[in-house]
Amino acid sequence: MSHLDMVVLNLLRNNLTGLITPVKQLQSLYFPGNQSSSIIPATKSDLTFVAYLAFSYNNLLLDYN
């Protein structure tokens, strides 16, 4: 095996201020309780396998523009 593919990333209550995720095989991202106000997403093509996202208990604002 030349590398490991991360399938689940659990960042529960880590006090992170942002997130950049270059993990191409990521299927689940758990990010609750971090009080983050911004998430810097990977490009849409980098998240093609994501089936579940959990962002509860953060201070995120959605920008629909």
Q: Are 38 and 16 in contact (CB under 8 A)?
A: no
Gyration radius of the chain's alpha carbons: 12
Percentage of residues in the chain having pLDDT higher than 90: 0
pLDDT tens for each residue of 38-64: 665 555 556 677 788 887 887 776 666
For 65, residues 6+ apart whose C-beta sits below 8 A from its C-beta are none
pLDDT at 27: 80
Per-residue pLDDT, 39: 62
The single-letter DSSP state of residue 33 is T
Q: What is the pLDDT of residue 2?
A: 45
Report how far Cα 65 is from the mean position of its chain's Cα atoms.
Answer: 21
pLDDT computed for residue 19 by the predictor:
54
